[in-house]
Structure formats: C-alpha cells, structure tokens
Amino acid sequence: MIKKLLVVLLAVVSATVSFAQKIQSPDEFLGYKLGTQFTPHYRIVEYFKYVAQASKNVKLQQFGSTNEGRPLLAMFIASDENIGRLEEIRHNNLRVAGVESGPVITNVPVITWLSYNVHGNEPASSEAAMWTLYDLVDPSNAQTQAWLKNTLVVIDPCLNPDGRDRYVNFYNSVHGLSPDAYPTSREHAEPWPGGRVNHYYFDLNRDWAWQQQKETQARVGLYNQWLPQIHVDYHEQGPNAPYYFAPAAEPYHKDLTQWQRDAQVLIGKNNAKYFDQNGWMYFTKYEFDLLYPSYGDTYPLYNGSIGMTYEQGGIGAGLAVVNRSGDTLTLVQRVAHHHSTGLSTVETASANAQKFKDEFKKFYDNSRTNPPGEYKTYVIKNDNNNKINAMAKLLARNGIQYGFGLANKSVTGYDYMNGKTEAYTVGPNDLVVNAYQPKAVLLHVLLEPKTIIPDSNTYDITAWSLPYAFGLKAYGIKESLKPASAEWSIAAPKPLVNTHAYAYVSSWSSVADVKFLAALFKKKIKVRYAEKSFDAAGKTFAPGSLLITRAGNDRADFDQVVTQTAAELNQEVTPLSSGFVDKGSDLGSDAVRYIRQPKVMLVAGDGVNSEAMGEVWHLFEAQLGYPITLIRYQDIPRTRLADFDVAIFPDGRYDDFPSDKLQNWVRDGGRLIAIDNAVASLVDKKGILLKKKEDKKDDKDKDKTVKIYGDRDRDAIRGMIPGAIFKLNLDNTHPLGFGLPDYYYSLKMNDDIYELFGGEDGWNVGTIKKDSYVSGFAGATAKQKINNGLLLGVQPMGRGSVVYMVDDPLFRSFWENGKLLFSNAVFMVGQ
Ligand SMILES: [Zn+2]
C-alpha cells in the first residue's frame, strides 16, 4: 500500500518537474534530424500532442478530420498572459471586425496564422512546422518569447494530411539505402494521382471560398471564428525554382488596400534579410498573383488579413535532387528555408503589432461604412428554392450576412443576365444582400458581375461571379437597401401522409432533385420523366419533371417509401390522383419515359486529369449518394462494358483509344460522356461525327508581324482563356438541357469549339453565337475564335449516344448549375 502511494507521489512530483524541464526538439522527439526522413502525418500529430503536454504556452485544437480519418489540428501559441484568455482575444477580434458586437479592449496580441502543406506532395513545410513550433515554445529562446508578448501564433501543421501521407508513403516505399539525387530516378516520379490533392483529388488551395471539401469546411469554419491579421500559406514549387515570398505579382484585385500591398513588402523585406544573410536565392513580385478568391493568400486578404503564399523549390525532390544548375537540393535545406520565413514573419508581426491591428480595424470599419463596388445591394431572384438555399449556405459559410425580400419592392438595377439596367419587383423570398457589412470585400469579389483585371497574365481563372455559377437571375442595385426579413417565408414542404396517389411528381431543376432521384433508386423505386411540360393538380410541370407512378412500383409500401424519402430530403412532391392531365400528354403516353437506373463507370488512372475525375467521383459519392465504379483507362480492354450503361471520360489524354470496343458498346445502347480534352481525343475516331472548328487565321498577315522576344509572355496570352464566362444558347427541350432555361453560363478554360452538327448527325444542345462573352479574361484571338459553334452536343449512335461536354461542367465543384447539366447527361439523355 505504502509502496503504491509512493509511486503515485513520485509520478506527481515527476510530472511537476517535467513541466519545468526542457521541451524536446523535433530531432530529439523523432529520433532523427529534421529533413533526413519524411515524417508520416501521425508522427507530426504525436509531436504536436507532446508539445501540448509539455508546454504551458499552447493550446491544441482538433477542428476536424479528413476523409481518411486523419485529424486536422490547430496549435495556439501565446505568452503566459495570453494563453489563458484565448476566447477573450478571439471574441475581441471579432468585435473589432464588427462580426460580433460588444466592447473592445486594446491590450490584445496581433494574430499570425501559419498554414502548412496544403498540397500533400509539397511536404517540406510540415517538417518546418514542427521546428517553428519548437522555437516558439522553447522557454530558453529569448527572441521568440519576446515576440509572443504581443503576438498570438496559430500553427496548422498540415492542411492536407491524406495527400501528405500519400506522398510520404510513396517516397518511403521506393527509395533505396540512400537517396538518389538523379532527377529522373523513380523516387522523383510520383505515380498517379500524386499527393497534391486530397482524398477526392481536390486541390484544397482552390477551395477556400467554395468550401466543397470537408477539410476546407472545417478549416474555414475555424478561420472565420478568428480572422487573423496575418496568414501564410506554405507551398513548394518545381525543384529548380528559388524561394518565393511576398510581395506577390500583379494582378492584384483592385479591392486590396494600399496597406495590404505595403505590408507584403514589409514582411517580404524581413524574410529577405535572412535569405541575404545565408546567401539563399529567392524572388518576389513574380508568377503568384492575387485575384482568384479561393486561395490561401487571396481569401485571407479579402477577409482583412495580410495573406501570403511562400513557395520553396522542391516538388518531386525527395530527400535530395540535382537541379538544373547542378546543385543538390536537399530536404534539410528546404525545411530550413520554410523555418526561416515562419520565424521572420512572426518577428515582423511582433515589431509592427499595433499597425497590423490598426489596419485590420480600418479594413473592417471601411467594409461596414464604405463598401467597395458600384452596387450596394444585390438581389438574387428566387425562381428555385434549392438553388437559393445552396447559395445562401455558401454565403453563410463565408460569414456574409444576407436576408430575404425588401420593404419597397420596386427597384432598378443591373440585370446580370442581359447586362441592362432594368426595373424589377423584388419577391418576398428573393435573396437580398446589403453591401454594408463586415465581409463587404469578399462579398464584392464573389458577386461583382465582371472582374476587373488590371493585368491579364494571371495564374488562374478570372471569372467566378456567383449568379452565373448558380444559374440564378440577379440584380446589382446602387442604393443601400436592407432585406425585409432574416428568414425566407417558405414553409418547409409538408410531409405527405396517408396518400394513395396514381403518381407523384417532383421538379427537376437543381442538384437537390438529382439527389432525390438517387435516393429513390436506392430504394428500388422506378421513376419516369416527362419529356414535355404538362398541367396537373393546378400546377405546370416542366420537361424533365420526375414521375413516380404506382404502375411499375407494385409494392405495399409504395406511398410510404416515396413520401418518406421526400420528407427526409425536404423535397416537395405533388401527388396526382389521375393519369389524365389537364394539358399536355397523359402519364401513359410515350412522352413519359422510363428512366433506366444507369450503372455508371468513371475512367481513372494514368492519362486522366485526376482533379477532373475527382469532381465526378465526389459528386456521385459525397453529393448524390449514387454508386459509381472507377476503372483505370488501361483496364478498359479487359472490362465487360455490357455491365455498364454509362461511361464517363473526364478531362485527360487518351492515347491508344479502344475505339472498336467502345463504339460497339455505344451501338448496343451505351452512353459515353466525354468532357473537356476527352472530347478532343474522340475527334477523328471511327463513328465520331464531331469536328473541331479550326480558326481561320490570316497567316500572310501574321508572318509580317515583327515579334519582340521580350514580349513573348504577353503575346502568348492573346490566344489564352484562363477561365472566362460565356453564355450558351441551350436547347432545353433536349434531355441534356432539362431543368435549365434556354441559356447556360459556361466557364470556359480554353478556346476549344466545334462545328455544329448537320442534318441527322447529332443534336446541337449548347451552342455559342457571336458576342457570347460575359466576364473574365479572354485573349483577343481566343475571343474571336469562340464564335458560332458547338460546346454541348449529343450524337446518337446505334441504340446509344455520345455526349460531348467541351467545358468541364463540374469545375472545382463550385459551378453549381453545371451539376444539373452533368446529371442530365448521366440520367436523362438516351432514355
Ligand atoms: Zn502548392
């Protein structure tokens, strides 16, 4: 007994002693020098957990988990005075921003947030995160302890754990006894899909604003509870590039303030000081611009922070690689560089803490009193509850305040759909967003109809305005008008009970309706669609409307299953007591088509654009809940295609296309959906009638132009479309256009366009005429080429069909309207 007590006492004493003991460095904890091995994610987590135990100046928060179940962590590091009042500091910061109301105090630290390893195969930064953490918590480090007096540091050690482990597991499984620095040796060639992306192959550094992935939803949720003054997003680039840090390259979005520009120089110069001391190469003001709102630098910038990207050369470099200049780049060096900029940034934050806080306050004061942009109120017309709901959800996730309806219903505003200023009567359930609010800048960037691009040489897409992405009518109004109500006045659809219907009807006009169809299929309910519009039960139903008839669903629980499924998904369904309709074709006519539940395969693997494939995969699994089989391209020859009804070819390069096999399958009733570059791969194949539209260049004139070598970057962009919006004419009587109006806004990423089908060859469903350009950058020659041609087409072939989608309708999963278009190709075409 006494012995036992003694053990307990000893344990207590040693715990107390260990608190005062030296904290282990990552090298000591891991048992190897940082950079001499790749640390698996779980070991990084263990080090962070260890420090959370060993240091009294930290708080570790798990704020989410990945698709593969790995934890997402944020470590808060603060002085003795501040660590016990993190919640006070957080609320105070939100009050300064005006996100919360209440009294503001001034003795608070500046908040610096360091985000590591968003791209899994840019792995040096998570190693550096451990070192940076150690330096910040090391009580014997007088310098960092002084910085923490007025600085709160947040470290997210790994934004993409699934991608990181994919890379690290690959590397550790292929390298030999010592690293091979030869650049084309196997350990520098990651297999498909690579570790850059998350589980569903999404680029998490393109997802900040859209928040389509669970990692982003969790992280931005936490981010918006804090709103740091400084945010760094850690990356790596090709192994030949020197280090990159702020200031960023043009274009900068015009809403960025002078201080946000100046602060990048301030921070960059301090980083440069250390790089100069060490003789390390670096560059600034080049390549990485500040426009597209969904990055780890721009998103924080549009939220009042100094958002920056830091890039070390190192993708594919393994532990060591010989670069173009003949030098050997090692992981040890890469880690040292990222460690240096981390500390340097905290140093700058501390040295200028008051200025960072003052300017942060000014940014939010301005947002609330003098918001940017011509329009002070945005009205989004509600002609589809599900779409409005989806858009409201996106605004809410970004902390943008909105409401519904206006007291004075008559307004005049800029009509997004036709570009004219028109009168409009606001409905009670129209989404209304007033620009005078804390998130005014982000709101403006996401909703302005045309992005102003001061310089066209950009890194990413240049147009994303939400009304086009959601396919919703919208008005920009110059007066500041407050929404009439915080909630919409639409009652949730009443669950139907005790009905004994001849059939049930559901709309087909958003991805929520597709989800309902998928749920019915799962419960083995047979569904039909109306090819033409019809009137029944006092309503008009549009083409594509889902019909769930008792006929064919001969089961006792039929009514119960349909009404319960509808209730679970909040889906409105209308029971019909008769198959005799008031106007249009009766339910038994051949205008009502049976939807055969398709078995779907998605082509994956080498040659396929993994992100494009991931968008389809994620849509089916995570959004629709519909089964899909992934088959590697090289395995198509040994796949029994008759087991599938639909084959999806995402963007990719398809060499040695198995034409005969696929063509026979289509002729037997298969449906091949080709997207983006897969369309180009099909041209000239046997049976394919689609033809590329070649641009008619006046070569004679072109030869005479004297090109200046130094202008070659600029010249190249004349033919470029880095992502611009074009308006298509849509044949919405064709199943591919069901549920959409007779137009469709497409995000064009290239200048591909095809000849219209002639005669019986195929259906020209989405076509483009002259002057179809809407927003974003399109080079002069490219703009000229996007004219009179086809972008969406269906070619019947035997009993099957080929669907051509020249632009990716699911791009980054934020082009909400494209999800319905794509679902039409899967579920409606060819039935
Ligand atoms: Zn990166």
Which pLDDT tens digit goes with each residue over 142-173? 999 999 999 999 999 999 999 999 999 999 99
* Ligand 1 mean position, distance from CA 115 (Å): 12
* Ligand 1 mean position, distance from CA 121 (Å): 8
Question: Does position 11 have pLDDT exceeding 50, yes or no?
Answer: no
Question: Does position 2 have pLDDT exceeding 50, yes or no?
Answer: no
Of 164, 8, 133, the residue nearest 60 (C-alpha)? 133
Selected residue with higher pLDDT from 1 and 776: 776
Q: Tell me what the mean pLDDT of segment 570-583 comes to.
A: 95
Q: Tell me what the mean pLDDT of segment 296-302 comes to.
A: 98
Residue 14's pLDDT is what?
46
* Ligand 1 mean position, distance from CA 799 (Å): 46
pLDDT digits (tens, 9 = 90+) for 418-443: 999 999 999 999 999 999 999 999 99
What Cα–Cα distance (Å) separates residue 56 from each residue in 154, 427, 698, 770?
15, 56, 72, 66
Residue 202's pLDDT is what?
98
Report which residue type is found at 139: P
Residues 6+ apart with CB under 8 A from 626: 518, 521, 522, 600, 620
Could you tell me the pLDDT band of residue 526, with boundaries at 50, 70 and 90?
Answer: very high
* Ligand 1 mean position, distance from CA 791 (Å): 32
* Ligand 1 mean position, distance from CA 194 (Å): 13
Could you tell me the pLDDT band of residue 692, with boundaries at 50, 70 and 90?
Answer: very high
* Ligand 1 mean position, distance from CA 344 (Å): 20
* Ligand 1 mean position, distance from CA 206 (Å): 10
* Ligand 1 mean position, distance from CA 311 (Å): 7
Could you tell me the pLDDT band of residue 778, with boundaries at 50, 70 and 90?
Answer: confident
* Ligand 1 mean position, distance from CA 122 (Å): 6
- The residue to which tokens 């790994």 are assigned: 158
* Ligand 1 mean position, distance from CA 542 (Å): 45
* Ligand 1 mean position, distance from CA 70 (Å): 20
Q: Are strands 800-805 and 789-797 parallel, antiparallel or unpaired?
A: antiparallel
Residue 498's pLDDT is what?
67
* Ligand 1 mean position, distance from CA 295 (Å): 10
Q: Tell me what the mean pLDDT of segment 529-553 comes to.
A: 97
Phi, then psi, of 71 in degrees rounded to 5? -75, 145
In the chain, what percentage of residues exceed pLDDT 70?
94
* Ligand 1 mean position, distance from CA 287 (Å): 13
What's the chain's average pLDDT? 93
Phi, then psi, of 312 in degrees rounded to 5? -100, 145
* Ligand 1 mean position, distance from CA 368 (Å): 33
Q: Residue 233 is inside which H or E element, if any?
A: strand 230-237
* Ligand 1 mean position, distance from CA 648 (Å): 28
Of 825, 386, 396, 822, the residue nearest 619 (C-alpha)? 822
Q: Tell me what the mean pLDDT of segment 114-130 comes to.
A: 98
Selected residue with higher pLDDT from 554 and 695: 554
* Ligand 1 mean position, distance from CA 14 (Å): 44
Could you tell me the pLDDT band of residue 721, with boundaries at 50, 70 and 90?
Answer: confident
* Ligand 1 mean position, distance from CA 414 (Å): 38
Q: In 537-628, at which residue ranges do the beta strands (DSSP E only) sit?
A: 539-541, 546-549, 573-576, 592-595, 600-604
* Ligand 1 mean position, distance from CA 748 (Å): 23
Question: Does position 489 have pLDDT exceeding 70, yes or no?
Answer: yes
Query: What are residue 795's DSSP bridge partners?
Result: 802
Could you tell me the pLDDT band of residue 77, with boundaries at 50, 70 and 90?
Answer: very high
* Ligand 1 mean position, distance from CA 235 (Å): 4
* Ligand 1 mean position, distance from CA 238 (Å): 10
Residue 355's pLDDT is what?
98
Residue 13's pLDDT is what?
44
Question: Does position 93 have pLDDT exceeding 90, yes or no?
Answer: yes
SS3 of 242-280: the string is CEECCCCCCCECCCCCHHHHHHHHHHHHHHHHHHHHHCC
* Ligand 1 mean position, distance from CA 713 (Å): 22
Could you tell me the pLDDT band of residue 458, with boundaries at 50, 70 and 90?
Answer: low
* Ligand 1 mean position, distance from CA 296 (Å): 10
Question: Does position 602 have pLDDT exceeding 50, yes or no?
Answer: yes
Q: Tell me what the mean pLDDT of segment 736-758 comes to.
A: 95
pLDDT digits (tens, 9 = 90+) for 788-808: 999 999 999 999 999 999 999
* Ligand 1 mean position, distance from CA 316 (Å): 12
Report which residue type is found at 594: Y
Could you tell me the pLDDT band of residue 262, with boundaries at 50, 70 and 90?
Answer: very high
Count Cβ neighbours within 10 Å for each residue of 186-222 and write b for 16 or more, e otherwise.
ebbebeebbbbbbbbbbbbbbbbbbbbbbbbebbbeb
Question: Does position 307 have pLDDT exceeding 50, yes or no?
Answer: yes
Angle, CA of 721, 727 and 729, to the nearest 5°: 130
Residue 8's pLDDT is what?
47
Could you tell me the pLDDT band of residue 713, with boundaries at 50, 70 and 90?
Answer: low
What Cα–Cα distance (Å) separates residue 219 from each residue in 91, 160, 456?
18, 11, 31
Q: Tell me what the mean pLDDT of segment 240-257 comes to.
A: 94
Q: Residue 529 is inside which H or E element, if any?
A: strand 527-530
In the chain, what percentage of residues exceed pLDDT 90?
86
* Ligand 1 mean position, distance from CA 740 (Å): 36
The DSSP symbol for 608 reads B
* Ligand 1 mean position, distance from CA 702 (Å): 38
* Ligand 1 mean position, distance from CA 237 (Å): 6
* Ligand 1 mean position, distance from CA 310 (Å): 9
Residue 5's pLDDT is what?
47
* Ligand 1 mean position, distance from CA 208 (Å): 14
**Number of neighbouring beta carbons within 10 Å of residue 452:** 11
Question: Does position 187 have pLDDT exceeding 70, yes or no?
Answer: yes
Residue 286's pLDDT is what?
87
Q: 131-135, 175-179, 524-528, 538-542: which range is least confident on average?
A: 175-179
* Ligand 1 mean position, distance from CA 67 (Å): 20
* Ligand 1 mean position, distance from CA 233 (Å): 9
* Ligand 1 mean position, distance from CA 312 (Å): 9
* Ligand 1 mean position, distance from CA 118 (Å): 7
* Ligand 1 mean position, distance from CA 253 (Å): 21
Residue 231's pLDDT is what?
98
* Ligand 1 mean position, distance from CA 696 (Å): 38
* Ligand 1 mean position, distance from CA 802 (Å): 36
* Ligand 1 mean position, distance from CA 172 (Å): 21
* Ligand 1 mean position, distance from CA 257 (Å): 25
* Ligand 1 mean position, distance from CA 293 (Å): 16
Q: Tell me what the mean pLDDT of segment 73-90 comes to.
A: 98
* Ligand 1 mean position, distance from CA 460 (Å): 13
* Ligand 1 mean position, distance from CA 245 (Å): 13
Q: Are strands 403-406 and 410-415 parallel, antiparallel or unpaired?
A: unpaired
* Ligand 1 mean position, distance from CA 158 (Å): 12
* Ligand 1 mean position, distance from CA 157 (Å): 15
* Ligand 1 mean position, distance from CA 197 (Å): 10
* Ligand 1 mean position, distance from CA 762 (Å): 42
Question: Does position 18 have pLDDT exceeding 60, yes or no?
Answer: no
* Ligand 1 mean position, distance from CA 153 (Å): 22
Q: Are strands 58-65 and 71-77 parallel, antiparallel or unpaired?
A: antiparallel
* Ligand 1 mean position, distance from CA 236 (Å): 5
Q: Tell me what the mean pLDDT of segment 331-351 comes to.
A: 98
- The residue to which tokens 């699994």 are assigned: 621
* Ligand 1 mean position, distance from CA 277 (Å): 26
Residues in the chain: 831
* Ligand 1 mean position, distance from CA 196 (Å): 8
SS3 of 77-118: the string is ECCHHHHCCHHHHHHHHHHHHCCCCCCCCCCCCEEEEEECCC
* Ligand 1 mean position, distance from CA 790 (Å): 35
* Ligand 1 mean position, distance from CA 307 (Å): 15
Q: Does residue 193 have a cis peptide bond before it, meaning omega lies within 30 degrees of 0?
A: yes
* Ligand 1 mean position, distance from CA 117 (Å): 8
Q: Tell me what the mean pLDDT of segment 704-708 comes to.
A: 66
Question: Does position 20 have pLDDT exceeding 70, yes or no?
Answer: no
Cα–Cα distance, 655 to 634 (Å, whole number): 10
* Ligand 1 mean position, distance from CA 780 (Å): 30
Sheet holding 503-506, edge to edge: 573-576, 503-506, 546-549, 527-530, 592-595
Question: Does position 220 have pLDDT exceeding 60, yes or no?
Answer: yes
Q: Tell me what the mean pLDDT of segment 340-347 comes to.
A: 98
* Ligand 1 mean position, distance from CA 606 (Å): 21
Query: What are residue 240's DSSP bridge partners?
Result: none
Neighbour-count burial of 796, counting CB atoms closer than 10 A to its CB (0-12 exposed, 13-18 middle, 19+ buried): middle
Could you tell me the pLDDT band of residue 734, with boundaries at 50, 70 and 90?
Answer: very high
Cα–Cα distance, 8 to 65 (Å, whole number): 36
What Cα–Cα distance (Å) separates residue 92 from each residue in 80, 108, 441?
18, 8, 21
* Ligand 1 mean position, distance from CA 119 (Å): 5
* Ligand 1 mean position, distance from CA 221 (Å): 21
* Ligand 1 mean position, distance from CA 323 (Å): 19
